[in-house]
């Protein structure tokens, strides 16, 4: 298999990623120009063709960066979520054949469309700053998103996906992971990352686990990105938690998935 280099642009830097190994092998810190871009045009086309899927993690990224202006110099108390209660004990999406069990407790509230649009806008700005270009509009559709407070959240959405048109799913996933890494690195936020896969109700689901740290290496946020292709759609499930109890509650929701 030939080595494919994926350029991920961040300000005046360009990160060349080996897609098969999903790691950075080289960083240029010179100003980008048309000559350099022409040399890596195939990779840039891959980046452009998959940029719409970056919106699936826009709110995911903003959960942390939007809560704290400086995560190391101020302590922000959780603010209880406001809004409508969860719609019963389960959620069902007939479009992709996906059903999950919802958490118990009145503290969990649906993220309103207005709040989601506002947070998506902020998340888009975070990503566009990271990759150095605008993200085109996408056809992403919110399934169900809710939160306990500004730290503990569950976000799920889908986007039509066809490998014959949109390219390799694995390459697109590598791009999403790298943009997340680049976004946190650009803010000097210490983090650990782990890539894995798990089978849920017979479907192989990719997962990307993140731990964000304070300056003294104390974990301040757990984040997990679950994704798979199901019935012609890219399913993205993103959870964030600032404590192990809520992390386990949100992970159980993901693992309760019933694909039919």
Q: Average pLDDT of 165-176?
A: 85
Kindly give, in sequence order, each residue whose CB lies less than 8 Å from that of residue 106, ignoring residues fewer than 6 positions away. 85
Spell out the long-range contacts of 137-145 with Cβ–Cβ below 8 A and sequence spacing 24 or more: 137/52, 138/52, 138/53, 138/55, 139/52, 140/52, 140/55, 140/56, 142/113, 142/116, 143/91, 143/93, 143/98, 144/91, 144/100, 144/110, 145/59, 145/110, 145/111, 145/116
Residue 259, pLDDT > 80, answer yes
Can you tell me whether residue 231 is helix, strand or coil? coil
Q: What is the pLDDT of residue 249?
A: 97
Question: What is the CA angle 33-181-65, rounded to 5?
Answer: 105
Of the chain, the end-to-end C-alpha distance in Å amounts to 34
In the structure, how many helices (H) and strands (E) does the chain have? 7, 13
Beta bridge partners of 9: 14
What predicted TM-score, i.e. pTM, was given to this entire model? 0.75
Of the options 3.40.50.150, 3.40.1000.10, 2.30.22.10, 2.120.10.80, the CATH number for the domain spanning 56-259:
3.40.1000.10
CA distance 7 to 10: 10
Instruction: Share the mean pLDDT of the chain.
Output: 75
Residue whose tokens read 């210490």: 190
CA distance 159 to 55: 10
Query: pLDDT of 24-63, one tens digit each?
Result: 333 333 333 443 333 333 444 445 455 555 555 655 665 5
Q: What is the pLDDT of residue 118?
A: 73
Q: What is the pLDDT of residue 7?
A: 41
Query: pLDDT of 80-124, one tens digit each?
Result: 888 788 988 999 999 999 999 999 889 999 988 787 777 667 666
Q: What is the pLDDT of residue 130?
A: 62
Decide which of 218 and 131 is more confident: 218
Query: pLDDT of 241-255, one tens digit each?
Result: 999 999 999 999 999
Give CA separation, 237 vs 5, 12, 20, 48, 75, in Å.
27, 31, 23, 23, 28
Decide which of 233 and 127 is more confident: 233
Q: What is the pLDDT of residue 239?
A: 93
Phi-psi region of 117 (alpha: psi -120 to 50; beta: other; left: phi over 0): alpha
Can you tell me whether residue 242 is helix, strand or coil? coil
């Amino acid at each position: 298999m030939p080595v494919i280099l994926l350029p991920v642009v961040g300000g005046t830097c360009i990160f060349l990623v080996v897609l098969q190994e999903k790691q950075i092998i080289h960083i240029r810190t010179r100003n980008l120009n048309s000559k350099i871009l022409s040399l890596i045009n195939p990779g840039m086309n891959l980046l452009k063709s998959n940029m719409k899927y970056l919106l699936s993690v826009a709110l995911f990224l903003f959960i942390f960066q939007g809560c704290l202006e400086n995560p190391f110099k101020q302590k922000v108390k959780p603010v209880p979520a406001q809004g409508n209660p969860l719609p019963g004990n389960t959620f069902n999406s007939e479009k992709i054949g996906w059903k999950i069990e919802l958490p118990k407790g009145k503290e969990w509230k649906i993220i309103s469309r207005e709040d989601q649009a506002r947070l998506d806008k902020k998340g888009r700005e975070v990503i566009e700053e990271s990759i150095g270009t605008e993200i085109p509009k996408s056809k992403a559709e919110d399934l169900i998103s809710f939160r306990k407070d500004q730290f503990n959240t569950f976000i799920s959405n889908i986007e039509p996906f066809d490998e014959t048109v949109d390219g390799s799913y694995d390459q697109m996933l590598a791009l999403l992971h790298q943009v997340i890494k680049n976004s946190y690195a650009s803010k000097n936020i210490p983090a650990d990352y782990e890539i894995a896969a798990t089978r849920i109700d017979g479907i192989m689901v990719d997962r990307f686990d993140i731990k964000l740290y304070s300056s003294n290496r104390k974990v301040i946020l757990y984040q997990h990105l679950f994704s798979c292709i199901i019935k012609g759609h890219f399913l993205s499930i993103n959870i964030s938690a600032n404590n192990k109890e809520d992390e386990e509650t949100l992970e159980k929701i993901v693992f309760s998935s019933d694909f039919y």
